[in-house]
């Protein structure tokens, strides 16, 4: 535990308050980690920064037991700050011999099957974890420079022309929460609101041409709107339009615009696509007979809203040189690779949205990334989102999020907080 405290020394010194330091001193005096002389040496005649430095250095020198007690009481005194630092909640082995409650009471490990607390702020990754992964060939590379240049696109349709379609109440909350998350992960977010289908297409094309993409390690594209199977609805969509005149955007176009043929800057880089939209009008449930007990249908929520309303195959050689001897050489690459597409619901079904808290899908993704991006790769995080839907049910219907398209050949870890969010200007 002393090493865990050392890893967050800078963040602790920069962020801890004098009030919390003094509370921790009292706690550790009671635990006999400090004596009165040590407590006075820290507390008397020092600035806040120096108090913090002396405190954390003295605790870590006393070893793992003292460090674990300090972590325990920091969670008790300032849970948000301890979570932001990314300090462990659970002790690797043994029990804390203290009459006061331990940090483990704040949250249970999901591996144990018990309930745990979703973090509302991004938990930082330890640099030691990044060090253990950075040379792994099965991991998409993430470097200090690449985290300074991360780019994301967020499109959110809220107000629709057709009153029958209805405005997406609560979607403004989704936009705030997603922006906060993406920025905390180090992404510069390009925001668009209330676009037609053609404008959505243009926004993605423009994004694909951004010169900053050459330096990013990944991109995240988030689109939130009404929808139908395989399409996002533009704000001018109405149910009476002719098919060829419908204001829609084909989801498939995202992959074409960001694929190597149209966006070489993103070749071999993770492209995470997150889409909150209905894919149809079905309620997503089916009746089954459970032995002799009849039909079981889960139904425990009220007042939710919904957001309803191929290239030819070809064979190719491994490489093909420019026969005319022009500038550079030509080679064959995969037409589509390194995408992960996350949809709010399965085909032909609805996606639910709370009119104040926003879409359940967006809520769950934000919670999962805040809590687990510090240690899990993106596919495992999304499985946690799906398991949360597995346990959730809604009035008259049941929603299941899905991975719609996955061509990721490696594991993608976001490593939040390992490096400064913004470039230091070098």
Residues recognised as catalytic? 226, 278
Question: 87-97: b or e for each residue (b if 16 or more CB lie within 10 Å)?
Answer: bebebeeeebe
Name 340's bridge partners: 272, 406
What is the CB neighbour count within 10 angstroms for residue 35? Answer: 11
DSSP designation for 161: S
CA-to-CA distance for 250 and 227, rounded, in angstroms? 10
Q: Long-range pairs for 362-369 at CB < 8 Å and ≥24 separation?
A: 362/174, 362/177, 362/178, 362/224, 362/276, 363/177, 364/388, 364/389, 364/401, 365/274, 366/177, 366/178, 366/181, 367/118, 367/119, 367/120, 368/118, 369/122, 369/181, 369/185, 369/414
By C-alpha distance, which of 290, 302, 276, 289 is closest to 396? 302
Q: Are 85 and 5 in contact (CB under 8 A)?
A: no
CA-to-CA distance for 69 and 71, rounded, in angstroms? 5
What is the chain's percent helix, strand, coil content, to nearest 5?
Answer: 35, 15, 50
By C-alpha distance, which of 81, 1, 5, 16 is closest to 50? 16
Q: Are 219 and 258 in contact (CB under 8 A)?
A: yes
Q: What is the phi/psi pair of residue 114, to 5°?
A: -85, 160
CA-to-CA distance for 159 and 196, rounded, in angstroms? 11
DSSP codes of every residue in 80-103:
HHHHHHT--SS-SSS----SSPPG
Residue that is written with structure tokens 């991360």 in the block: 150
């Amino acid at each position: 535990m002393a090493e865990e405290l050392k890893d967050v020394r800078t963040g602790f010194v920069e962020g801890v308050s004098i009030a919390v330091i003094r509370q921790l001193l009292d706690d550790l005096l009671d635990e006999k980690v400090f004596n009165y002389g040590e407590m006075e040496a820290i507390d008397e005649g020092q600035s806040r920064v120096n108090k913090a430095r002396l405190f954390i250095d003295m605790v870590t020198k006393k070893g793992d037991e003292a460090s674990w007690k300090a972590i325990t009481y920091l969670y008790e005194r300032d849970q948000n700050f301890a979570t932001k630092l990314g300090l462990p909640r659970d002790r690797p082995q043994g029990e804390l011999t203290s009459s006061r409650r331990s940090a483990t009471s704040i949250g249970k490990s999901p591996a144990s099957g018990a309930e745990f607390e979703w973090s509302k702020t991004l938990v930082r990754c330890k640099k030691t974890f990044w060090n253990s992964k950075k040379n792994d060939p099965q991991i998409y590379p993430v470097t200090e420079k690449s985290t300074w240049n991360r780019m994301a696109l967020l499109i959110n349709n809220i107000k629709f022309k057709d009153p029958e379609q209805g405005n997406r109440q609560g979607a403004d909350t989704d936009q705030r929460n997603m922006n906060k998350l993406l920025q905390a992960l180090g992404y510069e977010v390009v925001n668009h609101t209330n676009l037609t289908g053609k404008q959505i297409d243009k926004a993605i094309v423009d994004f694909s041409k951004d010169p900053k993409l050459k330096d990013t390690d990944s991109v995240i594209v988030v689109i939130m709107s009404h929808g139908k199977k395989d399409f996002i609805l533009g704000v001018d969509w109405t149910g009476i339009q002719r098919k060829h005149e419908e204001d829609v955007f084909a989801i498939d176009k995202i992959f074409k615009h960001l694929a190597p043929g149209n966006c070489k800057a993103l070749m071999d880089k993770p492209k995470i696509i997150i889409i909150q939209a209905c894919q149809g009008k079905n309620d997503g449930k089916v009746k089954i007979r459970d032995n002799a007990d009849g039909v079981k249908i889960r139904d425990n929520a009220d007042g939710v809203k919904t957001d309803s309303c191929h290239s030819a195959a070809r064979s190719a050689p491994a490489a093909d040189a420019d026969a005319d001897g022009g500038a550079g050489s030509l080679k064959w690459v995969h037409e589509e690779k390194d995408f992960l597409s996350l949809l709010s619901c399965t085909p032909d079904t609805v996606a639910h949205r709370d009119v104040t808290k926003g879409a359940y899908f967006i809520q769950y993704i934000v919670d999962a990334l805040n809590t687990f991006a510090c240690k899990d790769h993106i596919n495992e995080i999304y499985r946690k989102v799906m398991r949360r839907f597995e346990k959730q049910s809604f009035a008259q219907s049941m929603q299941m999020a899905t991975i719609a398209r996955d061509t990721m050949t490696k594991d993608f870890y976001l490593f939040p907080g390992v490096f400064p969010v913004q470039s230091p200007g070098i």
